[in-house]
Structure 1
Amino acid sequence: MKISKSLYSYYLIWPALLIYSVFFVLPAIIGLFYSFTDWRLDREVVKFIGFDNFERIFTDKTLQLAIKNTFIFAIVTVIGKNVLGIALAVGLNMRLKTRNFLRAIFYSPSILSVLVISIVFTPMLRSEGTINRFFETIGLGSLSQAWLTDPSIVIWTVAAVSIWQHTGFQMAIYLAGLQSISREYYEAATIDGAGAWKSFQKITLPLLLPAININLMLTLIGGLKVFSEVFVLTGGGPGNASQVVGTIILRAFGEGSWGLGTAVNTMLFLGVTLISIPLLIFMRRKEVTE
């Protein structure tokens, strides 16, 4: 009887665990197997080819460019979304009369569909679009760029659009963290002669670490798994200049190279896991020490 009681909590999670295993774990294991094969649409017999698909990932120039673009996108968006998110949260945590209205304005882009975002930004980012016309109007025509057709800046443009769309979501999480910090800490710091920056550095940031941890994980994993923004804004173009790992997976499956597609997907999974878990452990330790 004691054994059954001790296992009672596990009985409750078995149904969910079974569903998760059937629909997520099992397909992942099958996909791992097929990533070591020459599985293609035009072949009836699947052959084991070892690490050939993975060797191709690190020797094919297009795949290398996709990996590079994925890391650029992830790094830029992690920094942009979190820095701007904290700045907006701190600003809108002040006693402004319009703070609720401004919170809604800054948060609203995060609830929009990526398709809607592309419809709005694509004409704005053209060479003759609104952004370049604005620069010309204020006498800064030298800043005009071919935002979506210049291979050297296109991935940065997509990252900027993603930052614009999702920063409000990060802001909301930081706002929740800020509102849980007692005002007494700041009053005591003011009495001790601490300025605004010192209070932010010594009080706000340490107590905001749980929210920072959450946002870092969300933005990092989202950045490494980027697909929608690139797909709707550029389709991986011009040429292959804005290809990312997600679009390469789609293209591989679309071309019938299913073995290669599963290999790239497996690499993405391993990359996200190997980067996010150590960072999560590090941030959790920081929370404890602070």
Structure 2
Amino acid sequence: MKISKKLYSYYLIWPALIIYSVFFVFPALTGLYYSFTDWRLDRETIKFIGWDNFERIFTDKTLLLAIKNTCIFAVVTVLGKNILGIALAVGLNMRLKSKNILRAIFYSPSILSVLVISIVFTPMLRSEGTINKLLDTVGLHSLSQAWLTDPSIVIWTVAAVSIWQHTGFQMAIYLAGLQSISKEYYEAATIDGAGSWKSFTAITLPLLLPAININLMLTLIGGLKVFSEVFVLTGGGPGNASQVVGTIILRSFGEGSWGLGTAVNTLLFAAVTIIAIPLLIFMRRKEVSE
């Protein structure tokens, strides 16, 4: 009887473990195997080729550019979404009559489809689009750019659109964290003569670490796995200037290079794991120490 009680909790998790294994663990292990093969659409037999697919990834200029663009996108969006998210959360946590309306306005882009965002922004970002016309009107013609057709800035443009769309979601998480901080801390700091900046760095940021941790993980993983924003705004163009790992995977499978596509996907999974887990452990330790 005692043994059955000890095993009772395991009986409850077995269905979830089975489903997880069937739909995630087994496909992941199968994909890992195929990433070391020459699996192609035009071949009836599959041959094990070792590290050839991975060697190609790190020697092909287009694939290297995709990795570089993915890293740029991830870094820029992580910084942009979190810095702006904290700033908006702090501002909209103050006593403003219109704060509820403003919260809804800033959050609303995050619930829109990326396809809708592309329909809105694509004409605005053209050389003759709204943004350049606005810059010309206010005398900033020198800042006008070919936002989606200049290879040197296109990935930065896509990152900016992503920041615009998703910052409101990060803001909502930071707002929840701010509202859980007792006002007594700030009252005590004011009595001790601490200014706004000192209160922010000594009270707000340390107590906001759980929310920062969540948002860092979400934005980092989302940035490394970027696909939809690039696909709908540029399709990886002009040329291959805005290709990212996600679009390379799609193109590889579309061309029938399934082994290569699986290898790129395996590399992306490894990169997300290697970067995210140590960062998560570090942030958790910071939470405990604070």
Q: Smaller-chain TM-score range?
A: over 0.9
Q: What whole-Å deviation, never above 9, does each CA across 1:202-252 have from its counterpart, x for those lacking one? A: 000000000000000000000000000000000000000000000000000
- Which residue is 1:9 aligned to? 9
Counterpart of 2:129, as a letter, is G
Counterpart of 2:134, as a letter, is F
Counterpart of 2:121, as a letter, is F
- Which residue is 2:80 aligned to? 80
SS at match of 2:49: coil
Counterpart of 2:176, as a letter, is A
Distance 1:56 1:3 in 2: 54
Corresponding pairs, count: 290
- Which residue is 1:23 aligned to? 23
Q: What whole-Å deviation, never above 9, does each CA across 1:33-69 have from its counterpart, x for those lacking one? A: 0000000000001000000000000000000000000
- Which residue is 1:140 aligned to? 140
How far apart are 1:7 and its partner, in Å? 1.7
Counterpart of 1:3, as a letter, is I
Distance 1:131 1:10 in 2: 58
- Which residue is 2:174 aligned to? 174
Distance 2:49 2:83 in 1: 45
SS at match of 1:7: helix
Counting only pairs closer than 5 Å after superposition, residues 118-197 of structure 1 correspond to structure 2 as 118-197=118-197
Distance 1:86 1:111 in 2: 19
Q: What whole-Å deviation, never above 9, does each CA across 1:105-136 have from its counterpart, x for those lacking one? A: 00000000000000000000000000000000
Distance 1:4 1:154 in 2: 61
Distance 2:207 2:6 in 1: 36
Work out whether 1:207 is the aligned partner of 2:207: yes
Counting only pairs closer than 5 Å after superposition, residues 260-275 of structure 1 correspond to structure 2 as 260-275=260-275
TM-score (norm: length of structure 1): 1.00
- Which residue is 2:247 aligned to? 247
TM-score (norm: length of structure 2): 1.00
Work out whether 1:228 is the aligned partner of 2:222: no
How far apart are 1:2 and its partner, in Å? 1.5
Distance 1:51 1:2 in 2: 51
How far apart are 1:8 and its partner, in Å? 1.1
Distance 1:26 1:280 in 2: 25
SS at match of 1:38: coil
SS at match of 2:29: helix
Q: What whole-Å deviation, never above 9, does each CA across 1:158-215 have from its counterpart, x for those lacking one? A: 0000000000000000000000000000000000000000000000000000000000
Counting only pairs closer than 5 Å after superposition, residues 56-135 of structure 1 correspond to structure 2 as 56-135=56-135
Distance 2:247 2:287 in 1: 36
Counterpart of 2:56, as a letter, is R
How far apart are 1:3 and its partner, in Å? 1.8
Distance 1:97 1:31 in 2: 54
- The 4+ residue runs of structure 1 with deviation greater than 3 A are none
Counterpart of 1:37, as a letter, is T
Counterpart of 1:11, as a letter, is Y
How far apart are 1:280 and its partner, in Å? 0.1
Counterpart of 1:249, as a letter, is I
Distance 1:68 1:168 in 2: 27
Cα RMSD between the aligned structures?
A: 0.4
Counterpart of 2:187, as a letter, is E
Distance 2:206 2:2 in 1: 44
- Which residue is 2:41 aligned to? 41
- Which residue is 1:219 aligned to? 219
Distance 1:239 1:3 in 2: 64
Distance 1:269 1:3 in 2: 39
How far apart are 1:4 and its partner, in Å? 1.6
